[in-house]
Structure 1
Amino acid sequence: MLLPHTTRLASTLRVAVNSKFSVFSRFYSDAAPGTLAKTPLYDLHVAKGAKMAPFAGYSMPVLYSGESVGESHNWVREKAGLFDVSHMVQHRLTGPGALPFLHSVTPSDLTCLPQFRSTLSVFLHPVTGGIVDDLIITSHGPDSFYLVTNAACKEKDLAYIATNMKPFSSDVKHEVLTGQGLVALQGPLAKDILTEYLTGLTGTPADLSKLYFGASMFVEIPSLGERLHVARAGYTGEDGFEISVSERNTETVTTGLLDVGSAGGRIRLSGLGARDSLRLEAGMCLYGHDLDDTTTPIEAGLKWLVGKTRVMDGNFLGAETIGRQYNSWSFVPRRRVGFFVEGLSAREGAEIVEKGTDSVIGKITSGCPSPTLGKNIAMGYIRSGFHKQGTEVGIRMRGRERSGTVTKMPFIETKYNKAP
C-alpha cells in the first residue's frame, strides 16, 4: 500500500457503508481531471459504471454502479474481487550491486530471502529512521530483484533511489517497468478462478496449491506472447494473487478472469472503497496516513521486518535510531495499535486522550465502519504505556469525546495460504 505532508491526499473517511456511492474523501485530491493519468483498465472501469476519483495522480475506481462499499467489501470476503492496482510502481534492480544497495536503504535481511519469495520492507530516512515508503521486494535471483512501491510516492522514491544508488551505480541497473499493468485477484475463490483461467490459456492443468503466500512464479502464455508474473499476495487479508502483465494485455487478462469467474457468479470488479476497508480490517497500513517519514518501523509495529543481523551490522540508513528501538522498548515513544470506537466512526486526525482527562496521548490515522464486524474500527498511534490491549481511551470527534478501546490487530483473522 508517500507524499510529504503538504501534498498528502485528504484523509477523512466519510462513509455510510450501505449507501450506493459513499464518498471516500481520502481518494480525492485537488488535481485537475485533465492532469490525471489513466491505467490500462480505465475504459473498462468506465464501461462497468465505476465512480472514478483522483488518487495518487491517477483516475481510479472507488465503487461500481449498483452496489455499496459494504456490499463490495463483503463480496471479496465471501467470493472474489478483482482490483486494478496498475497505478503502483513496478521496478527491477539487477547486477552485483543490487543486494548491497537494498541493504543500504532497508533494514531487511535479504540474504535470507529465497528466490521467488517476497517480503514487505521499507525505505528508510537517513537521520530519523522514518519510513520513506513501504514496498514489496521479490527475489528473482542473487542479483535480480522485483520491487513494487506506492504510486503516490513515485517522484519521491525515484529521487531517493537515484541519490542513494550513486555509490553502487556502476554495479546495479534500475528500471521502472512503465509498460506493465498490475491486477489483484482477492478472496476465497481466487485460487479456483485463476487456476481455471491459466489452465484454459495454456492447455495444461495449472497447480497453484503449492504456491504459498509470499511466493511467486512466471507463467508462460504463448497466446499472449509473454509470461505473467504471478505472486500469491495482496492487501486485503484474504488469499489472493497479484498478476503483473504487459500494458497491452492487461485488459485481456482482466476480462478473461472476469469471464471465467462469471460462471457461478464468483467474481466482481472492486474499487478503492472496498480496498480501504478490507486492508484496515486486516490491520494493514496506508502510506501517508498510517506511515510517514517520521514513523519508524518499530513504532509502526513492523519490527518483524527488521533483520536481527542487520541491527548488529548497522549498515543501513537510520540504523542508530532503529537499533536503539529494536533493542529496547524504552526508546519507542509511541505504538501503532487498533481501536474499537463507540458511536461515530473515528476519522484520521482525531485526538486520542487519556480517559477522563484532557491529556492528548495520540492520534487516529485510519478509521471506518467494519462491514465484517458491524462495529467501528480504527488504527492510530498512542503513547507507550497506553498501548496495551483493553486500555480504555477517549477519542475526540466533532467536539465530542467518544469511548475507544485499544485492541489487537488484525481485527479479523487473515486467510493467507501459508506453507505448512
Structure 2
Amino acid sequence: MAQEQATQDLLKTPLHALHVEVGAKMVPFAGYDMPVQYPLGVKKEHLHCRDAAGLFDVSHMGQVRLYGEKAATILESLVPVDIIDLPEGKQRYAFFTNEQGGIMDDLMVANLGDHLFVVVNAACKEQDITHLEAHLTDGVEMEVIEDRALLALQGPKAAEVLARLQPEVADMLFMDVRKLDINGIECIVSRSGYTGEDGYEISVPSTHAEALAKTLTDFEEVEWIGLGARDSLRLECGLCLYGHDLDTTTTPVEASLLWGIQKVRRTEGERAGGFPGADIILKQIETKDVARKRVGLVGQTKAPVREGAKLFDADDNEIGIVTSGTAGPTAGKPVSMAYVATEFSPIGTEIFADVRGKKLAMTVEKMPFVPQRYYRG
C-alpha cells in the first residue's frame, strides 16, 4: 500500500501514458515516474542510439525563460560563464556556483533573441528557480514553463530523421538553437544532447508532445531509450551527471570543467570573476592546486566498477571514489568516472577498485571513452 501511495505521489511527464502503453519499465527518478528501459532492454537501447537514433523523454527537466535587457547580466553574475556575449541562436553549457566554489547545478542557456531560454536538472529545479528569483532585479522577469515537454532525438541518424519533418534542422550546427515548426507545432530546437552523439533537443507544447513522439518513433530508425541507456551513453562520452559526478562540494577545477569557463570570466578584465565562489575558483585555476581531480578509469578486468566503489593505490592507501560506472557497451570494456587524489590523476596511472572485497586493477584514461560525434559542420 505504501509503495502504491508513493507511486501516486510521483509527478508524471506529458508522455507518461505513452511510455506505459509501449511497455516501459517505470521507476521513481527526481520526483517523477520515469521509464528506465523499454522492451528492447538497456544494452540494445544503448547500441541502437549509437548506430541509428533514439528518442528520450526528458520532460522532467526544468524549462525557464528570462526576459529583460539585463537578463544576461543577471545570469552571468551567478555562473562563471560568458552569457553577455552569447550570440543569438546559440546555446552554452553553464553551472551555478556557491560561495565555496562548489557546483549547485549544471544547466544549458540559449539566446533566443527576445529572451534567454534556460534548461536545468529535474532534481535541482525548485532550488534553481528559487536561486534565480532571489537575484532578479527591476526589469528582469522569469517565466517558469509548465506547459512544454522536452524530447531528445539522438544518434547518427537523428538529423536525417528530423529533417524529414523540418528540413531546416539539417543546416544547424552543434549548439545552434532555433524556433521551428515541426509538423505545424511551434518548437524550440537545439542541436545538442547528452549522449555524445549528434542530435537535437526539442521543447514542444505538452498538448502536442505525444503526437510528435509517435511520429518520430514511427520512423524505423528510431527507438525509445530509457534512463538506463541514457546513463551509460553519457558516461561513455565523459559527460557528468549532477548529484553523482558534480555536487555542491566540488569546484569546476576539481571536476575538470575548465573548458566551460570562458577566458573573459577568468582573466583580468571587468567581467572576470563576479560570480559566487570566484576567489576560490580563480585561485585554483591560477595555482592548479586542488586536492582531487575527476578522472576517467578503464577496468583491466571485465567486471564493471560502479558508483561508490572505493579506490586504492598499490600500497592499499585509500585515494578516491567512483562516482559513475558502467559496463561500457560501445567502449567494449568497463568504464568509470571517479575523483582521485591529484597525484594519481595523470593518464596511465594504475589504481585499484574495491569491488565486493576484491581489488580490481584500473587505469586512468583520457575521456571521452567513446569519441563524441557532435555536428560542427
Deviating runs (4+, > 3 A) in structure 1? none
Counterparts of 1:109 and 1:219 in 2: how far apart (Å)?
A: 26
| Corresponding position: 1:36 with 2:10 | yes
5 Å matches for 1:7-406? 32-65=6-39, 67-126=40-99, 128-141=100-113, 144-163=115-134, 165=135, 168-198=136-166, 206-220=167-181, 224=184, 226-259=185-218, 261=219, 265-311=220-266, 312=268, 313-329=272-288, 331-341=289-299, 342-355=301-314, 357-406=315-364
- Shift in Å at residue 60 of structure 1? 0.6
- CA distance in 2: counterparts of 1:30 and 1:137, whole angstroms: 37
Q: What amino acid is aligned across from residue 364 of structure 1 in structure 2? A: V
Q: What are the ranges of 5 or more consecutive residues in structure 2 without an aligned counterpart?
A: none
Aligned-CA RMSD value:
1.6
Q: Distance in 2 between matches of 1:307 and 1:370?
A: 31
CA drift of 1:31 comes to: 8.6
Match of 1:203 in 2: none
Mean Cα displacement is larger for which, 117-126 or 154-163? Answer: 154-163
Q: Secondary structure at the match of 2:343?
A: coil
The structural deviation recorded for 1:82 is 0.4
Residue 208 of structure 1, CA deviation: 2.8
In the alignment, the residues of structure 2 paired with residue 41 and residue 122 of structure 1 have an alpha-carbon distance, to the nearest angstrom, of 28
Cα distance, 1:301–1:31 mapped onto 2, change above 3 Å: farther
* 2: CA distance, partners of 1:373 / 1:170: 51
User: Conserved in 2, the CA contact under 8 Å of 1:353 and 1:395?
Assistant: yes
Q: Give me the whole-angstrom Cα distance separating, in 1, the residues matched to 2:181 and 2:53.
A: 24
CA contact (8 A) 2:192 2:198 kept: yes
Distance between the aligned counterparts of 1:273 and 1:382, measured in 2? 26
Deviations 1:143-166 (A, max 9, x none): 621000000112221222222x1x
The answer on whether the counterparts of 1:31 and 1:57 sit within 8 Å (CA) in structure 2 is no
1:10 equivalent in structure 2: none
Deviation track 1:249-307 (CA, whole Å, cap 9, x = no partner) reads: 11111111122x1xxx3111111111000000010011000000011111111101112
SS of alignment partner, residue 170 of structure 2: coil
Sequence identity percentage = 44
- Aligned residue for 1:59, secondary structure, equals strand
8 A Cα contact 1:107 1:122, kept in partner: yes
Cα deviation per residue 1:343-380 (whole Å; 9 max; x = unaligned)? 4211211111112x221111100001011122111001
The 3-state SS of whatever aligns with 1:349 is: coil
Say if 2:56 and 2:225, in contact at 8 Å, map to a contact too.
yes
- Is the 1:91–1:146 Cα contact (8 Å) retained in structure 2? yes
Alignment partners' CA distance in 1, 2:74 and 2:34:
33
Kindly state the Cα deviation for residue 48 of structure 1 after the two structures are TM-superposed: 0.3
Q: Is the 8 A contact 2:160 2:170 kept in 1?
A: no
Give unmatched runs, 5+ long, in structure 1. Answer: 1-28, 199-205
